[in-house]
Amino acid sequence: MRKKEAGFTLIEVVLVIVITGLLASVAGRMMSVAFSTYFEVGNQSSLLDNADIVRRRLGLDLRQALPNSVRIGCQNRCLELMHIKDSGRYRAATNSTEDILAFGVLDSRFELMGLLQQTVGAHSIRTGNGVNDCRDNQADCLVVLNTGVGAQDVYQGGNRATITDLLPTNDPTHLQFVPRVLPAPSPAQHFYVVDTPITYICDVNAATLRRYDGYRIQRNQSDVDSHNELLTQGASDSLLSNQIQACEFRFQPGDTVTGGIVMLEIRLGNAAQTYPLFAQIALDAVP
């Protein structure tokens, strides 16, 4: 009697193929969902990180902005400000033995009331000798009472002067500047040391938001409201985002209590997602 050979029937083979195909299809869909979720989370994380960088950087600069120095241009896609490096209070008493800061007459030196706010030990303020050194970013500027109007507008230059020296070098007590007739005193005897203008430009066509600093102070914002103009004026630039789909800066003026509010509204996006960002930053009101 012949022994029966072991094996699979055609029906069994077909069933195995069908079941294997079903399992592979289910597994493929599960993996596809997993990969899709992974990339979606990655894209969203990238947009959130980008938005956080923009919000933090702009917020830091605006909190260090010279009062009344914010100006917005190029159809609300450019923002400019003057950056405060240090600040303090000047001597204003009329006692003849004190080195006061005089207004309405030529002056070049005053005594500090206490130490500079940001300086402990040797100061890091850049000094120069020329009238236009601080305008040309060759030295830091002394600024008093910036109201943003007329002679008291830092961009026009009536209330700023090139700092020539601080004495002594460690914990200075006196500040010297290129002889200047400053127009008006600060009610609280405040003065500021300003080191550079800063500009933010949104270029929706290039999907970029860039930050610029270290360039010459210009009377008109329209002279520094493009990438090429800023580089021509000696600016350094840094890319904050290359995912900008829409962008708008707005400014709500303040009063004697509040220095105003800057509002930033942008939409970041990539091929898969978009993320809206709206930020409000309050400004210092003390000029």
- Check if the beta carbon of residue 88 is closer than 8 Å to that of residue 117: yes
214: nearest Cα among 134, 125, 127: 134
pLDDT reported for residue 33: 54
Which tokens sit at 115? 């130490």
Contact residues for 25 (Cβ-Cβ < 8 A; gap 6+): none
279, 264, 238: which is closest to 79 by C-alpha?
264
> What gap in Å lies between CA 19 and CA 136, rounded to an integer?
78
Which pLDDT score is estimated for 24? 72
Task: Output the pLDDT for position 51.
Answer: 85
**Across the strands, what pairs with 122?**
170
DSSP code of residue 179:
E
For residue 201, with 0-12 CB atoms within 10 Å meaning exposed, 13-18 middle and 19 or more buried, which class applies? buried
CA distance 85 to 87: 7
Measured in degrees and rounded to the nearest 5, phi and psi for residue 36 equal -60, -45
Q: Which amino acid is at 127?
A: T
Give 10-residue mean pLDDT values along the chain (287 residues). Answer: 61 73 69 52 70 91 94 96 95 77 95 80 88 96 94 96 93 94 93 97 95 97 96 95 93 78 91 85 78
Cis peptide before 168 (omega within 30 of 0): yes
* Nearest CA among 131, 152, 151 for reference residue 67: 152
pTM exceeding the 0.85 threshold for the entire prediction: no
Cα end-to-end span (Å), the chain: 113
d(CA 43, CA 64): 32
